[in-house]
């Protein structure tokens, strides 16, 4: 029996997965497509009830991630002394750490992985053979072509809607992605961030002022 292929995606993206010929063939032939970790499930795992938890975290500060059957998802966690939290609590944590949340922050089939920190977050293996997008990803890294980064921003004012353009004076500096309360992620041009810091000119999204906060794990 071959092992299952686990793919972690937003539920609303399931139909799009099944429209892809390769995924559809794998699914129909011998894979159990459940729901891509930023990092592949490699190395040791720990059993947890009827599921398991990979021990190789993409970012330790974000906490552990577990895979459990839906019908038995809370009992093992409660037995381990964990309490229930709201989705908003996790959202604010990942926003403060600058971690993307699927297609809420990454435009499907257009996002550049390295702009979202996939390298630092163990989402790209530079030693593996061919994979879809490998040439573009490698060229982007080795030719230092990264001009934008997805970065946490503190929002002073009303939280802008996703897709709101960020301005530096009259120049377009980036775009707002997901957010909650006074925190958001924004895809910003590195050059614009440097100019804003040096000149004191505010980054604006609508009527809100944005203050970029470089994550401790980021290398740029």
**The residue to which tokens 């399931």 are assigned:** 14
Query: What pLDDT digit, counting tens, does each position of 134-180 carry?
Result: 888 888 888 888 999 999 999 999 999 999 999 999 999 999 999 99
DSSP 123-146: ---TTS---TTHHHHHHHHHTT--
What's the distance, Cα to Cα, between the start and end of the chain in Å? 44
How much is the mean pLDDT over the chain? 82
In tens, the pLDDT along 22-35 reads 555 444 443 333 33
Q: 176-189 b/e with 16+ CB inside 10 Å = b?
A: bbbbeebbbbbbbb
How many Cβ atoms from other residues are within 10 Å of residue 66's Cβ? 18
């Amino acid at each position: 029996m071959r092992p299952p292929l686990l793919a972690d995606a937003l539920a609303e993206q399931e139909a799009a997965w099944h429209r892809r010929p390769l995924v559809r063939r794998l699914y129909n032939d011998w894979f159990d497509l459940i729901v891509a970790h930023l990092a592949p499930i490699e190395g040791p795992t720990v059993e947890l009830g009827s599921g398991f938890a990979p021990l190789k975290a993409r970012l330790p500060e974000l906490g552990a991630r577990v895979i459990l059957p839906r019908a038995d998802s809370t009992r093992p966690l409660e037995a381990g002394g964990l309490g229930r939290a709201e989705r908003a609590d996790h959202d604010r944590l990942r926003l403060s750490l600058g971690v993307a949340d699927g297609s809420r922050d990454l435009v499907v089939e257009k996002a550049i992985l390295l702009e979202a920190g996939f390298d630092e977050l163990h989402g790209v293996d530079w030693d593996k053979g061919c994979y879809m997008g490998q040439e573009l990803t490698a060229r982007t890294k080795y030719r230092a072509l990264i001009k934008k980064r997805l970065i946490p921003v503190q929002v002073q004012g009303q939280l802008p809607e996703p897709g709101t353009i960020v301005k530096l004076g009259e120049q377009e500096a980036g775009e707002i992605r997901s957010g909650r309360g006074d925190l958001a992620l924004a895809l910003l041009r590195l050059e614009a961030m440097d100019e804003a810091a040096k000149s004191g000119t505010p980054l604006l999204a609508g009527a809100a002022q944005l203050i970029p906060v470089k994550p401790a794990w980021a290398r740029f």
